[in-house]
Amino acid sequence: MSTERVREVATPQGPGRVHVWRPPRPRGTVALGHGAGGGLGALDLTVAREVLLGHGWVVALVEQPWLVAGRRIAGRPPTLDEAWVPIVEALLAGRGRLPRPRVVGGRSAGARVACRTAAQLNAAAGLLLSFPLHPPGRPDRLRADELALAPNPSWVVQGTKDPFGTGAELTPYLPAGTSVLEVTGSHSFPKSSGAALRAAIETVAGMLPD
């Protein structure tokens, strides 16, 4: 049984907010960020939280300062990184710090942030949900350089019809130690994808290093 705890963390971009669920005798901590177009209620984040808690992981869902402030549009990538790093570092420092190992990830823009900052945070693994390899209709504008920064090991859970890049599109750019699991759906998964998402994340949870 775990209960939600919420805390605010000061960052150079303003206060961020973290929702933490901690099971008994945790194996480690998974920190996940949201996308640029929504908050923490996305289906894949919800399923990930439930599955990871069931496998004994602390789950920390991070709200970026722009969302906490009530803005509708995310900031530029460097500002997201500047907020994410101190928030995750705060979770693993001081009295009441969350346990290691540290797994990072998120959905869409949150997955990009996790990749870009993984080395700085000394992440042990990554869980990347709906990684946006390119803008819709612009396969020439690849973000493969960000995907290349994913921690080893990492897992990408991707929709089969994702306009930001399907599993097949991602595969040639996967760095060493990164695998992709495809789930029927688009960039934002519908409720009908819930069972398949759960199965995919159960697979990942069974392989996370502790």
Q: Quick one: pLDDT at residue 162?
A: 96
Q: Which H or E element spans position 105?
A: strand 102-107
**Token duo for residue 94:** 């001081």
Q: Has residue 2 got a pLDDT over 90? A: no
Q: Has residue 176 got a pLDDT over 70? A: yes
Q: Has residue 157 got a pLDDT over 80? A: yes
pLDDT bucket at 132, cuts 50 / 70 / 90: very high
Q: Quick one: pLDDT at residue 1?
A: 60
- Going edge to edge, which strands form the sheet with 16-21? 4-9, 16-21, 58-63, 29-33, 102-107, 125-129, 154-159, 178-183
Q: What is the pLDDT of residues 17-68, one digit of tens each?
A: 999 999 999 999 999 999 998 789 999 999 999 999 999 999 999 999 999 9
